[in-house]
A and B are shown apart, each in its own frame.
Chain A
């Protein structure tokens, strides 16, 4: 199945995925994914569990190595073996479902360690970026806390601030609110909303349909390792064309039956 997933715009996309394939041994997880994301665009990826959403996202910064096709971010061919992959990854922020804050470091150290060690910024410069980004997620007072003392929602906001402190061109989110208590989901989504409004390019795997409908420029519905349906958020969520999309949405929009 091949659905056009490239946007109408003529400018060069900041993320260009072409015929992406990924197998784990015999298990073909991604069959043939193509996707262009423009600068400043917000793309939400929805789909049932096991459909390959995380794998697709992780292929963008090559936490998973694609087994076929190409991924170009910011003009960098991520599958090129000669590419300095560590430098390339500093351009791509990633936020995980399980936060993955460095448990042995304070919030400040979490936000500065990669700035100083990877980007070689001075301590003062790194601290300035850390303070600015922690303020952005509304947690300035937690600068010297340890991650373990924070709630899930706070940890996830710190994780977003950590990624932002590298000044990335693109942010990837892998179900950032799925591991959260319901009452802390809103704060995290608000931070992401602000980020989208500020013009950040974002690819967001999520089950938050309301967020996708309001914030996303485009929505991709994935199932079985392919993009089944893609288009403007209001169309894919509000008026799905494919039967598989309809089935999935009716399941997700009915409470208590997350896919």
Chain B
């Protein structure tokens, strides 16, 4: 980064200086280089900050994003309705996704080839599909294709989020199950447990330690994906954070709701990522092998 400026200072100083002094000199130059590079990085930061302060139109910015009266006007609905709905959608989607994922993971590990094959197709299909596409198909594609496809909004959102999250979670669960030593199942079977009892009482509880941290991450992703519910155009009291934010921006012709909504999402996601990190530390970094 700072190579050009440093080359000049480290050159040989002349025939009178013996070889021995050249080494310390070169070292000094290396330290100087590091110092210089750090200096340049700080300088860039300071320049950006100064530019921001000098040239950003602060009154205008605050007027656009930081109107306290508009922010205050969003309460309590932003919490009692929007945040609550985001949490509800996220957990419903997560619960359905987890149920599908467990079935798909067990199918992937089945001894029946057709099950493995179907599960693989399911996973590849939904893992590769953007959440937006799933929402569009669920919300607009299917109602057009089937006349009597008329599910409540909440159910559509739940299914869409469930489908979106299930593929990744299925792979997580499969990896967790496979990480449990085979001897655990053999011991359970030798004691007379059926294969499903061995799975549910012996394998899955042990797989949990590997499964839990990435599942928490998936919950965070899902909380964010739930914002796609707004494209379904929900009823007034069904609005989650993103929908409320959009509506408020239109109503007030101001961007302050953006900031309020962003902060509301962080209320959900920061505790979750903290939880995920706690789980990871407790059970060791177990995300390896899961893609």
Q: Tell me, rounded to whole Å, the shortest Cβ–Cβ distance linking A185 to chain B.
A: 20
A63 with B190: CB separation less than 8 A:
yes
B186 touches A114 (CB 8 A): no
The answer to whether A103 and B184 touch across the interface, beta carbons within 8 angstroms, is yes
Minimum distance in angstroms from A90 CB to a CB of chain B: 4
In the assembled complex, the Cα of A163 lies from the Cα of B190 at a distance in Å of 9
State how many angstroms separate the Cβ of A96 from the closest Cβ of chain B.
6
Q: Is B110 interfacial (CB-CB < 8 Å)?
A: no
Say if the beta carbon of B275 comes within 8 Å of chain A. Answer: no
A96, B77: Cα distance in complex, Å: 61
Asked whether, in the complex, the Cβ of B192 is within 8 Å of the Cβ of A89, the reply is yes
Q: Chain A contacts of B192 at CB under 8 A?
A: 86-90, 114, 118-119, 166
Task: Given A117-B197, A117-B201, answer yes or no on A103-B190 (Cβ-Cβ < 8 Å).
Answer: no
Interface string of A89-128 (1 = CB under 8 A from B): 1101110101011111000000001100111000000000
Q: Choose among B186, B187, B193 the residue that contacts A117 (Cβ–Cβ < 8 A).
A: B193
B194 lies within 8 A of chain A by Cβ: yes
Cα(A101)–Cα(B190), bound, Å: 12
Interface size class on chain B is 10 to 19
What is the size category of the interface that chain A forms with chain B? 20 to 34
Query: How many angstroms between the C-alpha atoms of A118 and B189 in the bound complex?
Result: 11
Given A102-B184, A102-B202, does the pair A86, B190 have CB atoms closer than 8 Å?
no
Chain B 178-220, CB-CB to A under 8 Å as 1, else 0, gives: 0001011011111111100100011001100000000000000
| Shortest distance from the beta carbon of A121 to any chain B beta carbon, whole Å | 12
Is A207 an interface residue, CB under 8 A from the partner? no
Give residues 44-97 of A contacting B (CB, 8 Å). 61, 63, 86-90, 92-94, 96
Residues of B within 8 A of A (CB): 181, 183-184, 186-194, 197, 201-202, 205-206
